[in-house]
């Protein structure tokens, strides 16, 4: 009687979203690789990398929408999970440089040689294997989120208090990663990458492939989120968001639900970061900056909280605007514009772009239904009796 988990999760907006992402994921790389350079429809390589970045941000936005839009957990530190995933990938890419570094050390990355370290710290072991690094991309953010969430949700830290400690968490990581002796390249972070799985990270083909994979990851993340929010678990999440203690009195272990989505969301953010790093070519501690996490929350608010599609859309729209404005004469004013955008959206479009569109369609549909009823009644020559509520 309930439809299958895969078909149930598809409505019109979701289907449109999947088709658009799939089309872009295939067409952009193809046009970049197959069409002659300079042709009207050829997407230049720099744009492929730029859009690849947007797609990674869209995954991060989805992960935030899952916990904020559906479960009411406002994390202002999700950039930390994104950055941790990015660092895990960055460590793999550093180990791939091998003896091609400036100092030519086959094992130690340049910054370690520079710091006069004579051997690799234990936590860098294993990162020369892609599979290990890929596992860490999930595991490190997931584990941190699990421990953090276990403590916070069990102690019933909610609302603004939770938001503040997530900020503190990402800030603490920012400070730690800035330190040279922490072993992750300090201020400069990890960069000068050469190969990923044997392919040159700078090559057009690799960039196109990374873009394609980012789109695939976005679709998988979207499917997982849709499957969750359309399941009974999704209803419980919304129940927690709207009336947490009521949910508890019904016999739901609220902290388990929060812990589950929070950890899952952190893993998704980690994957986003891991795909981001090879496309932008660098990961440094500034990714942990509290402002980054707040910006990501703004994307979700602009696109429409609790709509998934809106979160992804918001990430792309805001970042496109950011690219547009920061590359022109308006660059110094971007942060003011971002702030203004957040205020305007909160005041004028509290449901975000997609949320507002949805309710506009809803009112139009019910108005149309009412008009139909009225005209039908007129044709019958009798007024339809009004049903008393």
Partner 1 sequence: MPVMDTRATSAMLYLDGVHVSFDGFHAINNLSLALEPGEMRAIIGPNGAGKTTMMDIITGKTKPDEGTVLFDGTVDLTRLDETRIAELGIGRKFQKPTVFESQTVYDNLLLALNVDHSVKGTLFWRGSKAESERIDKVLETIRLTDARNRLAGSLSHGQKQWLEIGMLLAQDPKVLLVDEPVAGMTDVETHLTAELLKQINKNHTIMVVEHDMTFVRELGVKVTCLHEGTVLAEGTIDQVSSNERVVEVYLGR
Which residues of this protein are in contact with partner 1, per CB under 8 A? 1-2, 228, 231-233, 235-236, 238-239, 242-243, 245-254, 256-257, 260, 389
For partner 1, the closer CB: 8 or 129: 8
Half-sphere exposure of 132 (CA within 13 A, CB side): 11
CB of 89 to partner 1, least distance (A): 29
For partner 1, the closer CB: 113 or 236: 236
CB of 209 to partner 1, least distance (A): 33
For partner 1, the closer CB: 245 or 375: 245
For partner 1, the closer CB: 213 or 233: 233
CB of 263 to partner 1, least distance (A): 11
CB 85 within 8 A of CB 221: no
For residues 31 and 182, give the distance between their C-alpha atoms in angstroms, rounded to a whole number.
43
152's CB contacts (< 8 A; 6+ apart) are 162, 165
For residues 103 and 106, give the distance between their C-alpha atoms in angstroms, rounded to a whole number.
9
CB of 247 to partner 1, least distance (A): 8
Residue in 290, 47, 89 with CA at minimum distance from that of residue 174: 290
CB 225 within 8 A of CB 71: no
For partner 1, the closer CB: 156 or 194: 156
In the structure encoding, which two tokens stand for residue 166, read together? 């997530």
CB of 150 to partner 1, least distance (A): 14
Question: Residue 274's CB: how many other CB atoms inside 10 A?
Answer: 27
For partner 1, the closer CB: 171 or 260: 260
Phi and psi angles of residue 200, each rounded to the nearest 5 degrees, phi first:
-65, 125
For partner 1, the closer CB: 150 or 252: 252
CB of 254 to partner 1, least distance (A): 7
CB of 54 to partner 1, least distance (A): 30
13's CB contacts (< 8 A; 6+ apart) are 307, 309, 354, 358
CA end-to-end distance (rounded Å), the chain? 30
């Amino acid at each position: 009687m309930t439809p299958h988990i895969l078909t149930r999760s598809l409505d019109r907006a979701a289907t449109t979203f999947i088709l658009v992402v799939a089309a872009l994921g295939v067409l952009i790389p193809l046009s970049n690789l197959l069409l002659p350079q300079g042709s009207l429809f050829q997407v230049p390589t720099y744009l492929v990398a730029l859009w690849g970045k947007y797609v990674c941000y869209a995954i991060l936005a989805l992960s935030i929408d899952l916990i904020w839009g559906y479960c009411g957990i406002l994390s202002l530190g999700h950039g930390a999970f994104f950055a941790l995933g990015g660092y895990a990938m960055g460590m793999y890419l550093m180990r791939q440089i091998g003896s091609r570094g400036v100092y030519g050390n086959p094992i130690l990355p340049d910054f370690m040689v520079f710091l006069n370290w004579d051997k690799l710290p234990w936590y860098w072991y294993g990162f020369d294997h892609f599979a290990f690094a890929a596992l860490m991309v999930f595991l490190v953010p997931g584990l941190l989120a699990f421990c953090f969430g276990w403590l916070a949700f069990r102690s019933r830290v909610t609302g603004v208090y939770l938001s503040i400690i997530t900020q503190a968490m990402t800030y603490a990581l920012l400070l730690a990663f800035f330190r040279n002796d922490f072993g992750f390249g300090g201020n400069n972070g990890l960069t000068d990458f050469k190969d990923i799985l044997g392919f040159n990270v700078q090559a057009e083909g690799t960039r196109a492939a990374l873009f394609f994979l980012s789109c695939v990851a976005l679709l998988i993340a979207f499917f997982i989120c849709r499957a969750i929010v359309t399941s009974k678990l999704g209803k419980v999440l919304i129940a927690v968001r709207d009336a947490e203690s009521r949910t508890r009195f019904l016999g739901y272990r609220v902290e388990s639900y929060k812990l589950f989505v929070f950890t899952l969301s952190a893993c998704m953010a980690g994957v986003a970061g891991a795909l981001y790093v090879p496309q932008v070519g660098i990961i440094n501690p500034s990714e942990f900056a509290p402002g980054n996490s707040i910006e990501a929350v703004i994307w979700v608010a602009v696109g429409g909280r609790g709509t998934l599609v809106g979160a992804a859309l918001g990430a792309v729209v805001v970042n496109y605007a950011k690219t547009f404005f920061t590359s022109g004469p308006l660059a110094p004013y971007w942060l003011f514009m971002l702030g203004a955008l957040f205020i305007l959206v909160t005041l004028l479009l509290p449901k975000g772009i997609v949320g507002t569109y949805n309710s506009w369609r809803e009112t139009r549909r019910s108005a149309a239904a009412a008009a139909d009823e009225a005209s039908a009644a007129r044709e019958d020559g009798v007024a339809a009796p009004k049903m008393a509520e």
